[in-house]
Structure 1
Amino acid sequence: MDEDLDSLSRDELIAEIRRLRAGIREHRDSSGHDLCWHHPALWGLLPEKSDPRPEVPDWPQFLRGCIRYRQSLDRQLPDAPRTNRPFPPDDADR
């Protein structure tokens, strides 16, 4: 699957590593409501091009998953800063 790397020079490999690290950092540094989004830009860093169509849970199951995710943040990051900023309406069509 990663045979494309075999033909890259050292400089090309370093450039690829930097590109991938930048994408990972962008995802890692997301915060607030940005944690909840579908992230095709991150997957777009891979060389294989695909347009995955995720299976989307119905609303009740989806909301239960959101609650469990938020609960996991409480357990894993109990001292993380909290915010009460509302969800921005202009983010509706990310």
Structure 2
Amino acid sequence: MDEDLEQLTRAELVAEIKKLRNGIRKHRDTSSHELCWHHPDLWGLLPEKTDPTPVVPEWSKFLEGCLKYRQSLDEQAPNAQRTNQSYGE
């Protein structure tokens, strides 16, 4: 899957690493309501060009997953800043 890397020059590899790091940083730096969005730009950094359509859970199961994700943030980042800003503000 990553055989293309074997053909790249050092300069091309450095450029690829910088591109990937920028994509990871952009994703890492999302916060608040942005955490809940679909991120195809991140996957677009991969050499295999696919546009996968996600399997989307039914509403009740989706919201259950959102609650579990938010609970995991309380456990993994208990000192993170909190906001009561509504979506769209």
TM-score, L = length of structure 2:
0.98
Name the CA distance, whole Å, in 2 between partners of 1:7 and 1:57: 40
Deviation of 1:66 (Å): 0.2
Identical positions, percent: 65
Please provide the CA RMSD for this pair. Answer: 0.8
TM-score, L = length of structure 1:
0.93
Deviation of 1:3 (Å): 0.8
Q: Which residue is equivalent to 1:70?
A: 70
Superposition map of 1:1-94 within 5 A? 1-88=1-88
Cα deviation per residue 1:40-65 (whole Å; 9 max; x = unaligned)? Answer: 00000000000101110000000000
Q: Which runs of 5 or more structure 2 residues have no equivalent in the other structure?
A: none
Matched residue count: 89
Q: Partner amino acid for 1:8? A: L
Q: Greater relative contact order (Cα 8 A, min sep 6): structure 1 or 2?
A: 1
Name the CA distance, whole Å, in 2 between partners of 1:51 and 1:25: 22
